[in-house]
Amino acid sequence: MITQIINLLFGTDPELRQIIGVTLRMSVLSTLISALIGIPWGVAMGANRFNGKVILSRITNTLMGLPPVVAGLVVFLVLSRSGPLGKLSLLYSVSAMVIAQVVLISPIIAGMTANIVSLRAPSINETCAGVGIYGWKRLWLTIKECRIPFITTILAGFGRSIAEVGAVQMVGGNIQFKTRVMTTAIMMQTNMGRFEFAISLGAVLLLISFVINSLVHRIQEQTQHDRPA
């Protein structure tokens, strides 16, 4: 088993290298895009009072629990030939998988960001009002002040992305050497009865998740250590 895992990480099998490469590329891209969408969304929702904030918060919380197959179905219908973006021919591509991941991860990052910002918003808003900082400058200052917790949020989003199977299977098609990722490969190999290969891929996926969780825990410990008493 250990030899199989080593071969997965450092072997010469082009399909295995392709699977891991596509998985990491899809997860990194979708996480970065989701962070660019979710963090400003969450900051605006957590730091301000406005009409409709309660409704927006409820919508965000609902989307945080959006079933992956539902997100995959929506993206599939939008990107299909009869859909509004069918002419782009994005279905069954890594781009389609990234879009589906962004639909899933952006609300999660936004909701976690809103919770973080809501705890610090009163002091930040008071400081900004005292020195006359408003609009986008206040938004940027809030992001800067909360940057360490935001890193934790982004890493959590990456962990959610790399473990996804339902949505990426639906819009990616699990095509060999194109859209096959680790989670869909594990499901396929299990159905084929190749349990050793599936377990090995699962071990690699768990190893990546362990590294991510370790980074999150380390950042949280560093944040608590640097926080003034």
What is the predicted pLDDT for the residue at 12? 56
Task: Establish if 202 belongs to a structural domain.
Answer: no
What is the predicted pLDDT for the residue at 106? 94
Q: Which residues of the chain fall below pLDDT 50?
A: 229
Task: Establish if 111 belongs to a structural domain.
Answer: yes
Residues 43-102 pLDDT 10s: 888 877 778 888 998 999 999 988 999 999 999 999 998 889 989 989 999 999 999 999
Count structural domains, the chain: 1
Task: Establish if 94 belongs to a structural domain.
Answer: yes
Task: Establish if 195 belongs to a structural domain.
Answer: no
Q: Which residue range(s) make up the domain with 155?
A: 22-181
Name all contacts of 18-23 with Cβ < 8 Å and 24+ positions apart.
18/177, 18/180, 19/180, 19/181, 19/182, 19/185, 19/201, 20/182, 20/204, 22/94, 22/178, 22/179, 22/180, 22/181, 23/162, 23/181, 23/182, 23/183
The enclosing domain of 162 has a CATH number of 1.10.3720.10
What is the predicted pLDDT for the residue at 229? 46
What is the predicted pLDDT for the residue at 30? 95
Task: Establish if 229 belongs to a structural domain.
Answer: no
Q: Nearest-CA neighbor of 79 among 215, 173, 174, 164?
A: 173
Tell me if the pTM is above 0.75.
yes
Task: Establish if 28 belongs to a structural domain.
Answer: yes
3-state secondary structure of 194: coil
Task: Establish if 131 belongs to a structural domain.
Answer: yes
Task: Establish if 162 belongs to a structural domain.
Answer: yes
